[in-house]
Each structure stands twice: as C-alpha cells, then as structure tokens.
C-alpha cells in the first residue's frame, strides 16, 4: 500500500482543487454540463430552462482517488469534515442508522449549485473529487461529465493567452515579406487572383492574410515559416518549373 501511494503521489499532477484556497471567503458556482430538450413554453411564452429543475448528485459514489492511487468510496455527511467513507467509518460513535440520516444530497436548482467557502469546504471537496465532475482526471467508466465549475480565473487566463497569440499572429501577417506571404497564402488556400485570373493587389491580399491570422491564430503561427510550409514551397516551385 505504501509503495502504491508513493507511486501515485510521485506521478500526481496539480489538480484544480489544489489551486483553490478553501479557507478564502468566496462563493463557488457549479453548473450542470448537460442540458435537456425543452418540454414546452411557459404562460409567458418562454421556453423551459435548458436544465433539469432539480438534480441531485449521487452520494455516495465510487471514485478513483488520485492522492492514494486507488478506488475509494466518496461520501458527504452532514457535520463531518472527511469526505471518505473509510475515514468516516473510523468514527465509532456513529451508528449505521445515524450515518444514513446524515447523508447529504447536494442539489442543483435550474442547473446551478452554489457553495459558500469556507463553510462548505467538505461540499467543495466532495464535488471536485466526484466522478461526475468535468475536471476529474481519472473518471471510472469514462462517463460524460454531469457538472462543472464556473472558473472565471481559468477562463480569463485562457482568453488572455488567446489574445496574445492573436496579436502575435496579426503582427506576423502584417510584417511578413511579400514572397513569404504569398507562399503562406497558397498553403492556407487564400486566393491571390480573382475569378478572371487577375492578380489581387498586395494590400488586398494582405488584408485577407491578416483576417486569416485573426480567425485562427494558433494554426496560423504553427504553419508560419514552419518546416511544413518550406516543404510545400519547394514542391510548389518544382511543379511550377516542370521538375515534377
């Protein structure tokens, strides 16, 4: 067991729950990942909510615990700080009937569940270790996620990274020499002549080139002056010269 645990901790990746300060006063919002088809319209003419009006999270639940490298039963009990059944069972003061009465059913209303820290620390740990959580790395049975965490910090970082990539791609498109731009345009299937075979102006082509860099900046940068593009240029030159 000790070897198994050490091995699991040695390979452990930093999880989302490890990045959250559970003692900080804040509200975490969990949201259902699945939607349901509308059943009809209300008296006001609005469609039904896209989520079940009430959804209860499975408790207890068998999960893979990354910290110990083994399967464990996850269970949320009212007033108990531990979320693991094997640790809860060490409390000999509780009878089975009392335990059954203490089992909590975390509930989503109209697709949303709010957890207020630091009071709901056990609830947050339970949800983020649950097999139905979208960020759970090792989900037993590989089932689709049922709920996720609205993580504005992570969403903001992703957006900033994308904006930086887009600026890098746009700058590259604006500054690229004409010959390099034309070769890349050919690779990206950006038209450089009109339907009558007349060449577009350099400014018009560059406008389309910049637009392509803004639309898909990562793909643009991955092929800009890459080995693949150079190979494409060499083959294109050979075809144009009649070598192949």
Give the residue carrying structure tokens 């009430």: 54
In the predicted structure, residue 89 carries a pLDDT above the cut 80: yes
Give me the chain's average pLDDT, please: 83
The maximal CA–CA distance of the chain, rounded, in angstroms, is 88
Q: Which residue has the higher pLDDT, 81 or 156?
A: 81
- Give the containing element (helix H, strand E) for 237: helix 227-241
pLDDT of residue 62: 95
Q: How confident is the model at residue 47 (pLDDT cuts 50, 70, 90)?
A: low
Give the residue carrying structure tokens 């559970």: 22
Q: How confident is the model at residue 9 (pLDDT cuts 50, 70, 90)?
A: very low
Q: Which of 63-67, 72-76, 91-95, 167-171 has the lowest mean pLDDT?
A: 91-95
CA distance readout (Å), 87 to 11, 74, 103, 180: 24, 10, 15, 64
Burial class from Cβ neighbours inside 10 Å (0-12, 13-18, 19+) for residue 180 reads middle
The model's pTM is 0.57
* Three-state SS at 61: strand
pLDDT of residue 13: 59
High-pLDDT (> 90) share of the chain, %: 43
Which one of 10-19, 44-53, 118-127, 158-167 scores highest in mean pLDDT?
Answer: 118-127
Neighbouring CB atoms inside 10 A of 15's CB total 15
- The distance from CA 83 to its chain's CA centroid, rounded to whole angstroms, is 25
Average pLDDT over residues 91-105: 85
């Amino acid at each position: 067991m000790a070897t198994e645990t050490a091995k699991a901790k040695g390979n452990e990746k930093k999880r989302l729950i490890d990045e959250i300060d559970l003692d900080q006063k804040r509200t975490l919002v969990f949201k259902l990942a699945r939607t349901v088809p509308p059943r009809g319209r209300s008296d006001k003419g609005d469609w039904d909510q896209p989520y079940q009006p009430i959804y209860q999270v499975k408790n207890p639940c068998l999960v893979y615990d990354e910290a110990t490298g083994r399967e464990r039963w996850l269970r949320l009990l009212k007033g108990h700080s531990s979320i693991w059944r094997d640790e809860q069972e060490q409390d000999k003061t509780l009878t089975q009937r009392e335990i059954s009465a203490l089992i909590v059913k975390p509930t989503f209303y109209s697709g949303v569940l709010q957890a207020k820290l630091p009071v709901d620390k056990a609830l947050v740990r339970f949800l983020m270790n649950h097999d139905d959580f979208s960020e759970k790395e090792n989900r037993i049975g590989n089932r689709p996620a049922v709920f996720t965490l609205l993580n504005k910090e992570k969403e903001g970082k992703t957006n900033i990274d994308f904006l930086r990539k887009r600026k890098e791609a746009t700058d590259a498109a604006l500054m690229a020499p004409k010959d390099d731009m034309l070769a890349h345009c050919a690779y990206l299937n950006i038209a450089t002549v009109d339907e009558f075979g007349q060449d577009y102006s350099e400014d018009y082509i560059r406008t389309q080139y910049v637009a392509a860099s803004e639309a898909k900046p990562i793909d643009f940068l991955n092929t800009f002056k890459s080995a693949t593009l150079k190979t494409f240029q060499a083959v294109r030159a050979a075809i144009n010269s009649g070598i192949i």
